[in-house]
């Protein structure tokens, strides 16, 4: 089963995405903050990352993941949800 790392700072929205992704059969790792999400990405090596981009600083994680030297990390697919 694919492991999805979910970054969403708003608890209510994060829980909604968790429910949707879990009902689709994914294992979810939730992160409420950018720093925690980067550490978790490096440790867990998820199949994909789902994040929202409401503000410019929300793209920070994308930049950091793409700059990682490990191809196992830098090539993780990232889905950005925008309003």
pLDDT on residue 61? 81
pLDDT higher at 54 or 9: 9
Q: Cα–Cα distance between 32 and 27 in angstroms, integer?
A: 17
- pLDDT above 90 covers what percent of the chain? 48
Phi, psi of 14 (to 5 degrees): -60, -45
pLDDT on residue 57? 66
| Chain segment 14-52, per-residue pLDDT in tens | 999 999 999 999 999 999 888 888 889 989 999 999 988
Mean pLDDT, rounded, for 68-75: 85
Closest by CA to 73, choosing from 38, 29, 21, is 38
Cα angle value 9/14/15 (rounded, 5°): 145
Pairing of strands 27-31, 48-52: unpaired
Pick the CATH number of 3-77 from 3.40.50.2300, 3.40.630.40, 3.40.630.10, 3.30.70.120: 3.40.50.2300
């Amino acid at each position: 089963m694919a492991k999805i790392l979910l970054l969403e700072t708003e608890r209510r929205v994060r829980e909604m995405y968790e429910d949707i992704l879990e009902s689709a059969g994914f294992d979810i790792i939730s992160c409420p903050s950018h720093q925690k999400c980067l550490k978790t990405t490096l440790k867990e090596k998820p199949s994909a990352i789902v994040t929202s981009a409401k503000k410019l600083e929300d793209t920070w994680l994308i930049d950091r993941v793409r700059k990682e030297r490990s191809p196992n990390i830098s090539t993780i697919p990232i889905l950005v949800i925008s309003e």
